[in-house]
A and B are shown apart, each in its own frame.
Chain A
Amino acid sequence: QQQVKQSPQSLIVQKGGISIINCAYENTAFDYFPWYQQFPGKGPALLIAIRPDVSEKKEGRFTISFNKSAKQFSLQIRDSQPGDSATYFCAASGGTYKYIFGTGTRLKVLA
């Protein structure tokens, strides 16, 4: 019940295309859902986050969509750029503050 399932494991997108990464959770106590971007050898960097009282949040080219009834949330990257090539992690937390991370999606944007 503590797991966060993330898909796909890897994704290849053409420059200018849309990248979509999905996550699902089971624990209804989760109330904070951040997305992190990680480059090789670096720590995760916060991209965007959402709470379950909102169904969508946009920041620049990044959008989180949240479906509370389905217990799913997704990250959309519009106009994907080669510089977006990285590993993306979804996470969830609630109550105890610790994050439960997904297994990651390795995104490659082709020039």
Chain B
Amino acid sequence: DTGVSQDPRHKITKRGQNVTFRCDPISEHNRLYWYRQTLGQGPEFLTYFQNEAQLEKSRLLSDRFSAERPKGSFSTLEIQRTEQGDSAMYLCASSLTTSVDTQYFGPGTRLTVL
């Protein structure tokens, strides 16, 4: 499978715990994006990387959220001290700078905070 992969697919955690999600983009895609999707809504942009550089962060990304892409390949999204409002689907997408902005999405990580 050469698509975007995300791990885990589902995560249930208790309020206050830290969680980390991983995204593996399509090989050679140098842009990587994180979005959050709540039930019945469209995905909302969180942050994006070009290679290892984090170029933009949304105001949605509070201090409890941190994302990294250390070698310009896979990325991690960590949420510290989770809150019930963090419950959502976290989507990762990747794209090539030479393409027409087309982003390819992974299957997402469904986070439930109890």
Contacts and interface: CB of A to CB of B under 8 A. Distances in A.
A pairs with B: yes
Given A93-B101, A97-B31, A42 B42 contact: no
Nearest to A101: B42
In the complex, which range does the number of interface residues on chain B fall in? 20 to 34
A107 B110 CA distance: 23
B106 interface: yes
B102 A46 contact: yes
B8 to A, nearest CB: 14
A43 B56 contact: no
Contact of B102 (A6, A34, A102, A103): A34
Contact of A104 (B31, B42, B48, B105): B42
B102 A99 contact: no
Contacts of A43: 4, 91, 105-108
Contact of A32 (B44, B100, B104): B100
B41 A104 contact: yes
Contacts, number: 58
**A43, A46, A103: residue with the most chain B Cβ atoms closer than 10 Å:** A43
A61 interface: no
B67 to A, nearest CB: 14
B48 A97 contact: yes
Contacts of B106: 43
Interface in A10-27: none
Nearest to A32: B101
Interface in B2-36: 4, 31, 33, 35
Interface of A: 6, 32, 34, 36, 41-46, 49, 51, 89, 91, 93, 96-104
